[in-house]
C-alpha cells in the first residue's frame, strides 16, 4: 500500500493542489494499492503542489506536481519506479533542495506537512495531548509556569516578552474568573507563519493554550483569527470539536477538576487588532482600538478580568517544552533569545516558504543557505523584518544574528516573523512609502500623532517620489517619526515610522537623489524616469508601438522608433515586450 500525502494548505491550493487532488482522485479511483490523504504545507512553498509518497516506511517528496503530471506520476508508481527529476526530498537521494531543510530545527513545525490536520487520531499518534495529560496528572500550575520560565520562551508575536512571566502575572491576579486568548490576527504583508500553523497543526495550538489555561487558572479561552484565513478557521473549528469530543477540552478534562471551554472569534481584518488591547475590545464587541496601559491585560483584560494573550507560535511551542523539558528547548538559540523561530520568506528570494531555525541564525545564512539567494541572481539590497511597522535591514548587516536584541539594534523589529527580501532594483524610498501607506490605512485614528503624523509623513514621501521633494524633507520625516513613536498609544503607532527611519538611516543617498537630482537610482518612481529607444539596437519591429496603451511609442516598420516623453506614462509595457533590449530606462 502506497500512501500519497498531498500538501493542502492555502499556498498549495493557490499553486494548483486542488486540481492535482481532483486528478489524483480520478486516476486512482479504480486502482488498488493507493491511499490519499491531505496534510498541511511542509514549508517548501516554492515547490507546491507537493506530494509525499510513503511506502515501506520510506518517504519520497515530489515537488511542482501539477495536475498535468499526475497520470505519468501514478503510472511510474504502479511500475515501482520514481521520476527522480521530480523528487525534491529523500533520505537516500541528494537533490538541489536539500539545503532548504539543512539548517532548520523543527519544533513548532515538526508535524506540519506530516499529519492530517483534520484528524485528531494523527495528532495523538504523533504524541499529541501527552503534554496536557502530563501537566494535569503530575504538575502543579506553578510548576508549569516555572518550566516555561526556565525554557526562556519569549512571546513570538513581536514584543518578545517572557511567556512564563506573562503567565505568572495572570496567575497571581486576585480574581477567580480569568481568560486565555490566542492571537491569530496575523496581518503583516508577506507573513503567513500563524496561518500555516493553524492550517497544518491546529491541535498543537489548542494544547498549548490549554496548558497555559491550567497554569493561570482560566476556564475560558478565545481564538481570535482573521476571517481572511478561511481554511485556518475551518480546521481550527474542526480541531476544537474533536478535542472536546475526546475530553481534552470541556468540563473536568481527563477526569480532573480542570475545565476549559473554547470559543472562536473571526476578526474583520483590522491590522490594529493584532495589538492585544484592541483585540480584547474586538472580542467584547467593541471597535478595535487600543486601551491605555496600565492596567495590563494580566490584571484587567477581557471584560475587566485577568487575561493572558499569546500568539499562535508561542502556544505551539508549549507542548514540546513540557514533553521534552526546558533545558532541551533552551539549548537552542542565544543567551537572551532561546529556542527556534518560524519565519516566512517572501519577496525577491528564490525559495519562498516557511522555515524554522534556531535563534541566532544570521540573516545571510537564511538568504544564502536556505533561500538560495535572490531571483535571477540579482544582488540583494535589504530585507524588511517585522512587517509594515518593522524596518529595512541593509545587506551589509546580514551577518546580524536573529535575536530580539540584535534585530532591534538595527532599527527593525523581530515582529511575528515575516522576512521580505528586496533586490538591487528596489527603490527604498518607494518601499518606505508603500509600508507607511499600509499603516496609515490601518491606523484606528485614536491617537493624534498616529492619525495625523503618519499621514503627514506619507504626504512627504509621495511628494518625494513624484519629484517634488524639498531639502528639508529628510529632517522633517525624522522629526515626525520620533514624535509619532513617543506620542502613540499602541505598538502600531510606536513602530509605524520604522520603515521610513531605517531607510533614511541606511539609504539616505537614495532620498537625496530623489530630492536633489530628481532621479530614482532604482528607476522605479515613474515621475523621475524616462523611456528612450536606443537607435543602435532598434530593428523597427513595431512591437513597442503596438503594445503602448497611449501611443507614445511611434515609428514605421523597419525604421528606428521613438518614444514621446510628453505622452509616455512610464508603464514599462514597451520595455517588457522588446526582444532586442532596445529600450533604456533613464
Q: Is 550 helix (H, G, I), strand (E, B) or coil?
A: coil
Checking if the pLDDT of 509 tops 90, the result is yes
Exposure class string for 540-555: b at 16+ Cβ within 10 A, else e: ebbbbbeebeeebbeb
- Write down the domain spans for the chain: 2-96, 120-329, 340-423, 428-517, 530-585
- Structure confidence by residue, pLDDT tens digits, 390-413: 899 999 999 999 999 999 999 998
Chain-wide mean pLDDT for the chain?
Answer: 94
- Structure confidence by residue, pLDDT tens digits, 335-368: 999 999 999 999 999 999 999 999 999 999 999 9
Predicted pLDDT of residue 231: 97
Checking if the pLDDT of 158 tops 80, the result is no
Cβ atoms within 10 Å, residue 376: 9
Predicted pLDDT of residue 187: 80
Distances (CA, A) of 496 to 363, 391, 429, 499: 23, 9, 15, 7
Distance CA 548, CA 564 (A): 11
Predicted pLDDT of residue 274: 87
Checking if the pLDDT of 55 tops 80, the result is yes
- Structure confidence by residue, pLDDT tens digits, 479-507: 999 999 999 988 888 899 999 999 999 99
Predicted pLDDT of residue 388: 84
Q: Is 84 helix (H, G, I), strand (E, B) or coil?
A: helix
Among 154-158, 242-246, 521-525, the range scoring the smallest mean pLDDT is: 154-158
Q: What confidence tier does 160 reach under pLDDT thresholds 50, 70, 90? A: confident
Checking if the pLDDT of 580 tops 90, the result is yes
Cell of 111: 508535524
Distance CA 289, CA 275 (A): 9
Q: What confidence tier does 417 reach under pLDDT thresholds 50, 70, 90? A: confident
May I ask the CATH architecture of the domain 340-423?
Roll (3.10)
- Structure confidence by residue, pLDDT tens digits, 189-242: 888 999 999 999 999 999 999 999 999 999 999 999 999 999 999 999 999 999
Cell of 240: 476544537
- Structure confidence by residue, pLDDT tens digits, 432-474: 999 999 999 988 889 999 999 999 999 999 999 999 999 999 9
Q: What confidence tier does 534 reach under pLDDT thresholds 50, 70, 90? A: very high
Exposure class string for 483-518: b at 16+ Cβ within 10 A, else e: ebbeebbbbbbbbbbbbbbbbbebbeebbebbbeee
Percent of the chain exceeding pLDDT 90 equals 87
Checking if the pLDDT of 41 tops 90, the result is yes
Cβ atoms within 10 Å, residue 579: 8
Residue 31 · residue 78 · CB < 8 Å: yes
- What average pLDDT score do residues 141-165 get? 94
User: Comparing C-alpha atoms, which of 163, 264, 166 is closest to residue 206?
Assistant: 264
- What average pLDDT score do residues 28-56 get? 92
Distance CA 566, CA 183 (A): 51
Predicted pLDDT of residue 222: 98
- What average pLDDT score do residues 509-513 get? 97
Distance CA 200, CA 486 (A): 39
User: Comparing C-alpha atoms, which of 193, 40, 214 is closest to residue 131?
Assistant: 214
Give me the residues paired with residue 52 across strands: 5, 61
Distance CA 533, CA 540 (A): 11
- CA pseudo-torsion sign 569, 571, 573, 579: positive
Predicted pLDDT of residue 421: 97
Q: pTM of the full predicted structure? A: 0.94
**CATH 3.40.630.30 fits domain 530-585:** no
Phi, psi of 10 (to 5 degrees): -60, -40
Percent of the chain exceeding pLDDT 70 equals 100
Predicted pLDDT of residue 92: 83
Topology at the third CATH level for domain 120-329: Rossmann fold (3.40.50)
- What average pLDDT score do residues 382-389 get? 89
Predicted pLDDT of residue 266: 96
Distance CA 127, CA 131 (A): 8
CATH code matching the domain that covers 2-96, chosen among 1.10.10.10, 3.40.30.10, 3.30.420.10, 3.40.50.300: 3.40.30.10
16 class by beta-carbon count within 10 Å (0-12 exposed, 13-18 middle, 19+ buried): middle
Predicted pLDDT of residue 277: 94
- Structure confidence by residue, pLDDT tens digits, 307-346: 999 999 999 999 999 999 999 999 999 999 999 999 999 9
**CATH 1.20.1440.230 fits domain 428-517:** yes
Residues 6+ apart with CB under 8 A from 487: 447, 448, 449, 450, 453, 493
Predicted pLDDT of residue 569: 93
Exposure class string for 117-139: b at 16+ Cβ within 10 A, else e: bbbbebbbeeebbebbeebbeeb
Distance CA 70, CA 6 (A): 12
Q: What confidence tier does 416 reach under pLDDT thresholds 50, 70, 90? A: confident
Amino acid at each position: 500500500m502506497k500512501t500519497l500525502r498531498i500538501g493542502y494548505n492555502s499556498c498549495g491550493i493557490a499553486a494548483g493542489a486542488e486540481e492535482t487532488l481532483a486528478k489524483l482522485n480520478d486516476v486512482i479511483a479504480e486502482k488498488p494499492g493507493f491511499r490519499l490523504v491531505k496534510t498541511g504545507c511542509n514549508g517548501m512553498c516554492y515547490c507546491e503542489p507537493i506530494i509525499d509518497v510513503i511506502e515501506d516506511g520510506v518517504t519520497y517528496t515530489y515537488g511542482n506536481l501539477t495536475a498535468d503530471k499526475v497520470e505519468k506520476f501514478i503510472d511510474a508508481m504502479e511500475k515501482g519506479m520514481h521520476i527522480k527529476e521530480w523528487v525534491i526530498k529523500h533520505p537516500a537521494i541528494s537533490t538541489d533542495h536539500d539545503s532548504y531543510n539543512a539548517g532548520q530545527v523543527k519544533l513548532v513545525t515538526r508535524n506540519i506537512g506530516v499529519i492530517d490536520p483534520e484528524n485528531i487520531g494523527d495528532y495523538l499518534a504523533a504524541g499529541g495531548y501527552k503534554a496536557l495529560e502530563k501537566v494535569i496528572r503530575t504538575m502543579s500550575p506553578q510548576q508549569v509556569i516555572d518550566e516555561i520560565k526556565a525554557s526562556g520562551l519569549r512571546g513570538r508575536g513581536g514584543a518578545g516578552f517572557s511567556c512564563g512571566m506573562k503567565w505568572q502575572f495572570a496567575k497571581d491576579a486576585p480574581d477567580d474568573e480569568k481568560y486565555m486568548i490566542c492571537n491569530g490576527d496575523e496581518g503583516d504583508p508577506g507573513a503567513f507563519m500563524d496561518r500555516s500553523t493553524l492550517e497544518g497543526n491546529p491541535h498543537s495550538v489548542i494544547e498549548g493554550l490549554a496548558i497555559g489555561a491550567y497554569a493561570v487558572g482560566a476556564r475560558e479561552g478565545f481564538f481570535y483569527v482573521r476571517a481572511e484565513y478561511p481554511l485556518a478557521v475551518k480546521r481550527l473549528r474542526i480541531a476544537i470539536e474533536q478535542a472536546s469530543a475526546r475530553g481534552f477540552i470541556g468540563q473536568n478534562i481527563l477526569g480532573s477538576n480542570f475545565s476549559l471551554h473554547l470559543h472562536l472569534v473571526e476578526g474583520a481584518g483590522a491590522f490594529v487588532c493584532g495589538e492585544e488591547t484592541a483585540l480584547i475590545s474586538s472580542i467584547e464587541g467593541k471597535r478595535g482600538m487600543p486601551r491605555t496601559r496600565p492596567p495590563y491585560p494580566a490584571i484587567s483584560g477581557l471584560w475587566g478580568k485577568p487575561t493572558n494573550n499569546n500568539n499562535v507560535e508561542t502556544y505551539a511551542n508549549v507542548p514540546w517544552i513540557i514533553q521534552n523539558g526546558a533545558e532541551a528547548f533552551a539549548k537552542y538559540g542565544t543567551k537572551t533569545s532561546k529556542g527556534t523561530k518560524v519565519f516566512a520568506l517572501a519577496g525577491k528570494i528564490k525559495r519562498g516558504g516557511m522555515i524554522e531555525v534556531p535563534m541566532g541564525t544570521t540573516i545571510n545564512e537564511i538568504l544564502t543557505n536556505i533561500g538560495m539567494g535572490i531571483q535571477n541572481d540579482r544582488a540583494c539590497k535589504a530585507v524588511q523584518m517585522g512587517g509594515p511597522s518593522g524596518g529595512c535591514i541593509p545587506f551589509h548587516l546580514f551577518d546580524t544574528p536573529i535575536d530580539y536584541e540584535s534585530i532591534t539594534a538595527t532599527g527593525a523589529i523581530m515582529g511575528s516573523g515575516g522576512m521580505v527580501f528586496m533586490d538591487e532594483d528596489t527603490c527604498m524610498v518607494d518601499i518606505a512609502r508603500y509600508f507607511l501607506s499600509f499603516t496609515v490605512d490601518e491606523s484606528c485614528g485614536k491617537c493624534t500623532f498616529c492619525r495625523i503624523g503618519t499621514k503627514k509623513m506619507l504626504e512627504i514621501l509621495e511628494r518625494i517620489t513624484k519629484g517634488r521633494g524639498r531639502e528639508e524633507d529628510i529632517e522633517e520625516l525624522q522629526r515626525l517619526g520620533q514624535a509619532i513613536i513617543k506620542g502613540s498609544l499602541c505598538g502600531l503607532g510606536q513602530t509605524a515610522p520604522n520603515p521610513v527611519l531605517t531607510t533614511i538611516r541606511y539609504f539616505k543617498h537614495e532620498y537625496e537623489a530623489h530630492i536633489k537630482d530628481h532621479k530614482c537610482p532604482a528607476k522605479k518612481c515613474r515621475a523621475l524616469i524616462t523611456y528612450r529607444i536606443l537607435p543602435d539596437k532598434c530593428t523597427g519591429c513595431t512591437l513597442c508601438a503596438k503594445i503602448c496603451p497611449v501611443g507614445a511609442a511611434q515609428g514605421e516598420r523597419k525604421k528606428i522608433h521613438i518614444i514621446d516623453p510628453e505622452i509616455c506614462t512610464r508603464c514599462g509595457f514597451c520595455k517588457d515586450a522588446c526582444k532586442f533590449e532596445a529600450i533604456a530606462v533613464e
